[in-house]
Homo-oligomer: A and B are copies of this chain.
Amino acid sequence: MTSKQEFIEKLRNSNLRPTKQRINICEVLFNRDKTFHFTINDLFNLIKDKTGEKVSLATVYNTVHAFHKKGYLKEIPINSNQTYFDTNVTDHHHFFDVKEEKLIDLKNEDVGPIEIQKSIPGKKIKSVEVLVKLED
């Protein structure tokens, strides 16, 4: 069970005041056992369902972006009409079931080490992500 104090800490670290709405968002994002893949719209609907209170879409966007910037959320690179985020911010990769539009985690051990043997002067590697598309 994640405590409200942790949510407040996460919010403060992200330069956000802990408001009722943002705590509700945290409740849905972080109070769970398994990693959570979502779109803003998923999250928006879940907040209503799980907390019984509505938070405006603009607030959901703002808060998610602040968390992403701070590193509490990870953006998953997929071409989809909507942007996907992940509460698992550790280095890991994804399956994407194209038909069902569903993301599945790949543990780091499930994918061998990836060596990038090319570099661009003046640039450094920020992240390496593997996307495995699945079909039937």
Those 8 A-B pairs whose CB atoms lie nearest each other, nearest first: A110-B118, A123-B134, A126-B135, A126-B133, A112-B115, A127-B133, A110-B117, A77-B77
Q: A75-B79, A111-B116, A125-B135 are in contact. List 12 more A-B contacts (CB 8 A).
A: A77-B131, A95-B123, A107-B118, A111-B114, A111-B117, A112-B114, A112-B115, A123-B134, A125-B134, A127-B132, A127-B133, A131-B131
Interface residues on chain A, size class: 35 or more
User: Do residues B131 and A129 form an inter-chain contact, with CB atoms below 8 A?
Assistant: yes
Cβ of A57 within 8 Å of any chain B Cβ, yes or no, is no
Residues of A within 8 A of B (CB): 75-79, 83-84, 95, 97-98, 104, 106-107, 109-118, 120, 122-136
